């Protein structure tokens, strides 16, 4: 499996840099796919999610309060963007400090389920981000990806795993 | 070693261009309020749980308030203003109004000092 971390220039701002992931040799990021998979059924939620990320990055900051934490394994920083009370969509992401957010994918979360494991799409997208978090963590430990002085990431962003 | 590749797409462009202005403004206001409340809690050293206790609510409700997705009622905002001593509603005594009053007071004092000085100087001249 191959991951490439890319910066979403349209969304990044002075408060936070926004990244997403390109899987294998896809042309689109996971976030693009999330939009396209859900836009027809939930256009208002897509607008709201997109605008919230935009406001986080450009105005209000990547504060912890905007994210539902502990959506992954212990300590892997996988979280979800808070959904509005009547919303049906869940977007998984990784929040790394105040300066960085990595958008993954997600899906429709029926109000009838409690655990994400009860829904295949949510489970697949969440576990994929857990996997990415694991390999990113290892790359940081190995010094292949590191923070720059301007609080952005530097390094080699094409990550091949054995799987 | 370098920075990540810059990425944009027709999909992201399409969504960015279609977001209704009203939705964007509402979102901005909700998130702005959430940040203001969170900053007030931080500066007062209050946890969400302690704030929930002061407001007579469950901690999960405070978490929702701070998430930037909540539509507050005026009553809740008034109560927060009383509990935290901050201004959240525009109809409450505005900070700008207080600043204006302070400026007027400064100008009044400067004016009075100037008048007293002029009077003092003219008396001094007469004495000479």
Residue B14 in any domain: the answer is: no
Number of structural domains (chain B) is 2
pLDDT of residue A106: 95
Residue B7 in any domain: the answer is: no
- Same domain? For B65 and B26 the reply is yes
Three-state SS at A13 = coil
Encode pLDDT of B48-106 as tens digits: 999 999 999 999 999 999 999 999 999 999 999 999 988 888 765 555 556 676 778 88
- Judged by CB atoms closer than 8 Å, whether chains meet at B9 and A28 is answered as yes
Task: Quote the CA–CA distance of A57 and A105 in Å, as a whole number.
Answer: 18
Q: What are phi and psi of A77, to 5 degrees?
A: 65, 10
Does residue B56 sit at the A interface (CB-CB below 8 Å)?
A: no
DSSP state of B4: P
- Same domain? For B23 and B86 the reply is yes
Task: Quote the CA–CA distance of A82 and A45 in Å, as a whole number.
Answer: 11
Chain B residue numbers with beta carbons less than 8 Å from the beta carbon of A153 are 3-4
The closest alpha carbon to A57, from A106, A26, A24, A99, belongs to A99
- A residues 131-150 lying closer than 8 A (beta carbon) to B: 148
- Same domain? For B43 and B54 the reply is yes
For chain A, what percent of residues have pLDDT higher than 70?
A: 99
Does residue B16 sit at the A interface (CB-CB below 8 Å)?
A: yes
The closest alpha carbon to B88, from B38, B127, B14, belongs to B38
- A residues 31-50 lying closer than 8 A (beta carbon) to B: 31-32, 35-36, 39, 44, 46-48, 50
- Same domain? For B34 and B75 the reply is yes
Chain A residue numbers with beta carbons less than 8 Å from the beta carbon of B15 are 35, 39, 46-47, 50
Task: Quote the CA–CA distance of A112 and A114 in Å, as a whole number.
Answer: 7
Encode pLDDT of A6-60 as tens digits: 999 999 999 999 999 999 989 999 999 999 999 999 999 999 999 999 999 999 9
Question: Which of A39, A50, A65 has its CB closest to that of B19?
Answer: A50
Three-state SS at A2 = strand
Question: Which of A28, A60, A154 has its CB closest to that of B3?
Answer: A154
- Same domain? For B83 and B38 the reply is yes
| Token code pair at residue B93 | 């005594």
**What domain range is B85 assigned to?**
19-90
Q: What is the pTM of this model?
A: 0.83
The closest alpha carbon to A91, from A79, A101, A99, belongs to A79
- Same domain? For B35 and B54 the reply is yes
Predicted interface score ipTM higher than 0.85: yes
Residue B108 in any domain: the answer is: yes
Task: Look up the CATH number of the domain holding residue B63.
Answer: 1.10.260.40
Number of structural domains (chain A) is 1
Question: Which of B12, B19, B32 has its CB closest to that of A8?
Answer: B12
The residue of B8, B9, B21, B22 whose CB has the most chain A CBs within 10 angstroms, and thus the best one to mutate to test that interface, is B9
- Same domain? For B125 and B62 the reply is no
- Same domain? For B73 and B111 the reply is no
The residue of B19, B31, B48, B66 whose CB has the most chain A CBs within 10 angstroms, and thus the best one to mutate to test that interface, is B31
- Same domain? For B64 and B126 the reply is no
Residue B58 in any domain: the answer is: yes
pLDDT of residue B1: 56
Can you give A108-161 as a three-state secondary structure string?
ECCCCCCCHHHCHHHHHHHHHHHHHHHHHHHHHHCCCEEECCCCCEEECCEEEC
Encode pLDDT of A70-111 as tens digits: 999 988 999 999 877 778 799 999 999 888 999 999 999 888
Please classify residue B123 by burial: count the beta carbons closer than 10 Å to its beta carbon, then call 0-12 exposed, 13-18 middle and 19+ buried. Answer: exposed
């Amino acid at each position: 499996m191959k991951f490439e971390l890319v910066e979403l220039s349209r969304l990044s701002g002075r408060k936070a840099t926004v990244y997403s992931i390109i899987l294998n040799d896809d042309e689109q990021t996971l976030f693009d796919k999330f939009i396209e998979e859900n836009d027809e059924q939930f256009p208002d939620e897509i607008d709201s999610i997109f605008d919230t990320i935009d406001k986080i990055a450009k105005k209000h900051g990547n504060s912890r309060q905007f994210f539902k934490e502990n959506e992954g394994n212990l300590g892997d920083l996988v979280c979800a963007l808070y959904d509005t009370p009547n919303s049906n969509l869940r977007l998984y992401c990784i929040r790394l400090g105040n300066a960085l957010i990595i958008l993954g994918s997600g899906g429709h979360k029926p109000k009838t389920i409690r655990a994400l494991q009860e829904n295949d799409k949510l489970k697949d997208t969440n576990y994929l981000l857990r996997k990415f978090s694991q390999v990113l963590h290892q790359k940081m430990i190995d010094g292949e990806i590191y923070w720059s002085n301007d609080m952005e990431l530097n390094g080699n962003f094409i990550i091949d795993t054995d799987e | 070693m370098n920075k990540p590749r810059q990425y944009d797409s027709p999909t992201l462009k399409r969504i960015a261009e279609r977001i209704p202005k009203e939705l964007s403004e509402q979102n901005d206001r909700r998130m702005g309020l959430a940040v203001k409340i969170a900053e007030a809690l931080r500066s007062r050293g209050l946890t969400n749980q302690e704030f929930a206790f002061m407001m007579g609510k469950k901690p999960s409700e405070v978490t929702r308030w701070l998430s930037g997705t909540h539509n507050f009622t005026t009553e809740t905002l008034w109560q927060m203003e009383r509990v935290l001593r901050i201004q959240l509603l525009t109809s409450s005594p505005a900070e700008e109004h207080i600043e204006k009053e302070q400026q007027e007071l400064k100008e009044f004092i400067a004016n009075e000092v100037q008048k007293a000085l002029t009077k003092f100087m003219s008396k001094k001249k007469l004495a000479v």
